[in-house]
Amino acid sequence: MRFTGDKVFKVLVAVIAASALAILIITGYTLSVGSMPVLQKFGLNFFFGQQWSPAAGREIFGLLPYILGTLATSGIALLIGVPLSLGIAIFLVEMAPRSLRVPISYLVELLAAVPSVIYGLWGLFVFRGFMVTYIETPISKYLGWIPIFSGEPGGLDIFTAGAILAIMIIPTVASISKEVISSVPNSIREGAYSIGATKWEVIKRWVISYGRSGIFGAVILGLGRAVGETMAVTMLIGNATSFSAMPTSLFNPGQTLSSLIASGILDASSPFAYSAYIGAGLALLFMSLIINVGAHFVMTRVFKVKGGAIE
Amino acid sequence: MNTKYVITIVAIAIIVCAIVAITYTPVEIVSLNGAGASFPFPLLSSIITKYQDSNSYVEINYNPSGSGAGISALTDKTVDFAGSDASLSISESEKAPNVLHIPETIGSIAIAYNVEGLSSGLKLTGQVVADIFEGKITKWNDPAIAKLNPDVILHSATINVIRRSDSSGTTYIFTGYLSAASSSWENNVGQAKSVEWPVGIGASGNQGSAQTISSTKNSIGYVELAYALQTDMTFAAVQNPSGNFILPSLDSTTVAAQAVASLGLPAGNENWSSVNLLNADDATAYPIVGFSYLMVYKELNVIDEMTQARATELVNFLWYVVHDGQDLAIDVDYASLPSNVVDINSATIKSITFNGQQVLT
């Protein structure tokens, strides 16, 4: 009796595990079939072209500006979000008194529960004005000669979108990093202190180093959210298309793959244009896969650790 | 104790149900479904509300999903009527033959701007507007703008162009105007519900455009007049073919439709793709104007769920929209139809049939 139960359970779990793979394959297949018309017409130019015109008779579709836009916004999100998240995690585990630790980590996790449209609205009405007045205008005044800071800051641009993404990935990265850091055995810390290391040295050399694969996994999860995030980005990135969407300056309007799909697919003018938006979805899926596989590769080969995304 | 309590509750529930069942007399609700352009939605919903006040057994649903979505739904025969800011193209009419065009209101597109110290009435020509939206004019004090506005002090600020990011009938009318005004625009961008914008920040919907213009300094964009009026935006006077600079208003919009209609419009069952209210030939007409249409099949039995009762209610409703409904337009900042367009609509609605019989009696 017990034996059969185990067998049934084993099969059941195997089926559930297989369904994860199946969903990925089915999604990839559906997107490939849906984007066939546009891929047949443009081939690789679909991924490396810069023009996007859904107007009947002038239809031409190229994804390069949006692929680069996705990389740019996600990159900014990581640059701003990861140091902040690590700071939060280290503070909570290594320094905060117990009475602060619980409420703060609870608040950080609460940030993850805020729906992205709320971040978008807040970004549009509050954060955008703050960015323009206190960050973008001073940067453009003193550093405007650097190409990536050129142009007139208007607040609906790649930088604002990246900054809001940074805020959105903080709860993910911070709370996982916190778990990773607190799982570092105390014996490691005690050993380090006993040979005369300062707190800073302990954190830098031993704690972070011990938990690096887990922290890296947290960063990858954050990156995954940044790459796919749609609603808040669509509301803040300025939705440029074609040549004007090339992310040449952080203060220019841009577009990511997901915001392109969100703003155009519902009223695509023709089945052909529709297939171009499906193709953008395919590109987004590929990008996410490449980023995740690449991250895994970096982790195993460069950091020389084994295992899955999170340890 | 507990059992008694439960019994009491059940008894009350049964009595309530019985009362409801006795007093309830079922009314045959006729429901009509439409979908399409979002621009006329505020007007249509106030007309529908008013119409249902006196015809409570009719339920009319209009889903403002966009002109393109409305035409697809009508082609698939999943709605009884569609709304569209663009007439059917030749290829669309081939897919949905025998569709009648019923212009139900007139759209007017305001060139709205947000420049500190600049009130409504900045003078612009079609060529200048086209050059701004093509990225050829980038500063507010460009000589081309300054020449038209000698009395206005313009600053050297960069122009922030705001345009629609979604597919829209408003964009269709606006890009049609730019194509007529500038050959460079016509060759490089053209007219469509969604085009390859050379510059600008994309915002979704008229509401989104209006909000983005209002919150972005030194910006310019185009929004439907009703939205511009309701949100107190500042907007430009645009030069019409007579050389006059005209501010968009409900009057200057109706005048444009009247002028074009007086030269003759097609019958409801003919092709409307050549109808064009842009640059109407009247000294007081605003130049960036277009019809918003309701579309129905001439023979209603092509829709599977159509019945005699539904056909009658649909036709009565359409009749109401183009006649009494027009009186509601001014309250929601929409231009009402001129009488010569109403006459054409009357003939069109009378021509609607169900199983070969004229519906309107």
CATH of the domain at A160: 1.10.3720.10
Contact of A140 with A149, CB cutoff 8 Å: yes
B16 domain-assigned: no
Nearest to B204 among A55, A263, A268 (CB): A263
Mean pLDDT for B213-228 is: 91
> CA B14, CA A173: separation in Å to the nearest integer?
57
Bridge partners (DSSP) listed for residue B106:
B291, B335
Does B130 lie in the same domain as B233?
A: yes
B307 domain-assigned: yes
pLDDT value, residue A155: 85
Does B126 lie in the same domain as B73?
A: no
pLDDT value, residue A109: 87
pLDDT value, residue B26: 62
A167 domain-assigned: yes
Give the residue on A whose Cα is nearest the Cα of B134.
A244
> Any CB–CB contact under 8 A between B193 and chain A?
yes
Assign B83 to helix, strand or coil: strand
How many domains is chain A built from?
Answer: 1
> Any CB–CB contact under 8 A between A53 and chain B?
yes
A3 domain-assigned: no
Mean pLDDT for B210-226 is: 91
Which ranges of chain A have pLDDT less than 70?
1-3, 302-311
> CA B36, CA B168: separation in Å to the nearest integer?
10
Token representation of residue A40: 């047949």
Neighbours of A285 (CB within 10 A): 17
Higher-pLDDT residue of B229 and B66 is B229
Nearest to B167 among A156, A244, A267 (CB): A267
Relative to beta strand A60-61, strand B234-235 is unpaired
pLDDT more than 70, % of chain B: 99
Token representation of residue A304: 């020389």
Q: Which of B295, B318, B336, B340 is nearest to B107 (CA)?
A: B336
Q: What residues of chain B lie within 8 A of the CB of A130, using their CB?
A: none
Q: Minimal Cα–Cα distance from B194 to chain A, Å?
A: 6
Nearest to B196 among A53, A128, A152 (CB): A53
Q: Please report the sign of the dihedral spanned by the C-alpha atoms of residue A292, residue A293, residue A298, residue A300.
A: positive
pLDDT value, residue B168: 82
Least confident of A72-76, B86-90, B109-113, B184-188: B86-90
When pLDDT is cut at 50, 70 and 90, the band that residue B107 belongs to is confident
B343 domain-assigned: yes
B7 domain-assigned: no
Q: Long-range pairs for A268-272 at CB < 8 Å and ≥24 separation? A: A268/A54, A268/B68, A268/B167, A269/A54, A269/A55, A269/A56, A269/B68, A269/B167, A269/B192, A269/B193, A269/B194, A270/A54, A270/A56, A270/A59, A271/A37, A272/A37, A272/A38, A272/A41, A272/A59
Q: Long-range pairs for A128-134 at CB < 8 Å and ≥24 separation? A: A128/A155, A128/A156, A128/A160, A128/A236, A128/B215, A129/A155, A129/B215, A131/A155, A131/A159, A131/A160, A131/A163
Mean pLDDT for B242-271 is: 89
Domain ends where: B261, B280, B301?
B261
Contact of A268 with A277, CB cutoff 8 Å: yes
Asked if residue B28 has pLDDT above 80, the reply is no
Does B252 lie in the same domain as B344?
A: no
B19 domain-assigned: no
pLDDT value, residue A310: 42
> Any CB–CB contact under 8 A between A128 and chain B?
yes
Does B53 lie in the same domain as B97?
A: yes
When pLDDT is cut at 50, 70 and 90, the band that residue B25 belongs to is low
B280 domain-assigned: no
Range of the domain at B113: 108-261
Least confident of B24-28, B199-203, B241-245, B259-263: B24-28
> Any CB–CB contact under 8 A between B342 and chain A?
no
> Any CB–CB contact under 8 A between B89 and chain A?
yes
pLDDT value, residue B179: 94
Radius of gyration, alpha carbons of chain A: 23
Task: Give the total residue count for chain A.
Answer: 311
B196 domain-assigned: yes
Interface test with B, best of A263, A269, A274 (most B CBs within 10 A): A263
pLDDT value, residue A311: 41
> Any CB–CB contact under 8 A between B98 and chain A?
no
pLDDT value, residue B1: 58
Range of the domain at A280: 35-310
Nearest to B166 among A52, A125, A267 (CB): A267
B113 domain-assigned: yes
The string of pLDDT tens digits covering residues B288-344 is 999 999 999 999 989 888 888 899 999 999 999 999 999 999 888 898 899 889 999
How many domains is chain B built from?
Answer: 2
A12 domain-assigned: no
pLDDT value, residue A169: 93
Q: What is the CATH number of the domain that holds B41?
A: 3.40.190.10
Assign B140 to helix, strand or coil: coil
The string of pLDDT tens digits covering residues A45-95 is 999 998 888 877 788 899 999 999 999 999 999 999 999 999 999 999 988
> CA A147, CA A158: separation in Å to the nearest integer?
14
Does B189 lie in the same domain as B122?
A: yes
Assign A141 to helix, strand or coil: helix
Does B346 lie in the same domain as B251?
A: no
